[in-house]
Amino acid sequence: MFKNFVLIIILSYCFSINSYSQSRLAHEVAVVFGPAALQSDYSQKTTLSSNLDRLGFGIGIAHFLNFSSNRNPLRETSYFKEHFKLQTSLSYTQFKLKHDSNYIDQNPEATNAKKLKAMYGSTRVTNIGTQLVYQLKNIHDFENTINSFAPYVGLGFFVSKYNVATNSTLNIRDLNNAVYYKYLSPSDGRERGFTTEKKFTVSAAASMGTRYKLSTLQDIMLDVRFQYFNSDWVDGLNPNKNLHPENNNNDWLMWFNVGYIYYLQ
């Protein structure tokens, strides 16, 4: 069912590109990469060293539909066409996860602290989706001005597939002696508050950044993307919220990336 839905989206998008091409709209392609941070149930610390220790990495490709381009002989100048682009992207991020908290630091010999410290995991997230991008600078003005900047913001949604693994350096088969009590209670349709699984979810996304004009056909992009998942299982942990209300937020990530954009003729 889901594969059919994704296939319909891809076919519809390909049809739209073909239709837009016949209307002489321009296309841009980009390659992006950079560090990413996943906010999850694994750590309560917010120190710089802790955040850096949890950084993952992401790569992606993107396509932009440019409604107002120098290569469009119609040169239509409506506000929408001079400031908006449609971005479709495919990205992949991965993270290694472990518990890092003041409780572990303050009680290193406590049984529960040892259980938390022994737990670790990883998750790989693949996203495909689209955003409507608003560029503050007039598109024609930017295209005609080498070494200029064009700040932008974007909003959209993604279909996300996460592949998560959860484990422990202790004997994970002996759950009561290996797993922190918070993760042993049934939660959200799962037998326990931790899991190893491959599933799909959706996410809302917001981006902001800027382009820098290298040449007529080349830009550099600096971008920050915030992505909020409609799931709290992306990191593999989701304690029962009725028993542990402090863990009531879904997972989300922030991706800082740099990209190279090329304008197709």
Q: How far apart are the C-alpha atoms of 110 and 104, rounded to whole Å?
A: 8
Residues 100/122, Cβ–Cβ less than 8 Å: no
* CA distances (Å), origin 13, targets 20, 78, 88, 129: 10, 24, 9, 11
Q: What is the pLDDT of residue 6?
A: 47
Query: Using an 8 Å Cβ cutoff, are 216 and 167 in contact?
Result: no
Q: What is the pLDDT of residue 160?
A: 96
Rg (CA), the chain: 22
Phi, psi of 178 (to 5 degrees): -115, -25
Cα 168 to Cα 119: distance, rounded to the nearest angstrom: 4
Going residue by residue through the chain, which has 265 residues, state the pLDDT in tens, using 9 for 90 and above.
445 544 444 544 454 445 444 456 789 999 999 999 998 888 765 555 555 667 899 999 999 998 876 555 555 568 888 999 999 999 999 999 988 877 787 888 889 889 999 999 999 999 999 999 999 999 989 999 999 999 999 999 999 999 999 999 987 778 888 899 999 999 999 999 999 999 999 999 999 999 999 999 999 999 999 999 999 999 999 999 999 887 788 999 999 999 999 998 6
Label residue 52 exposed, middle or buried (CB < 10 Å: 0-12, 13-18, 19+): exposed
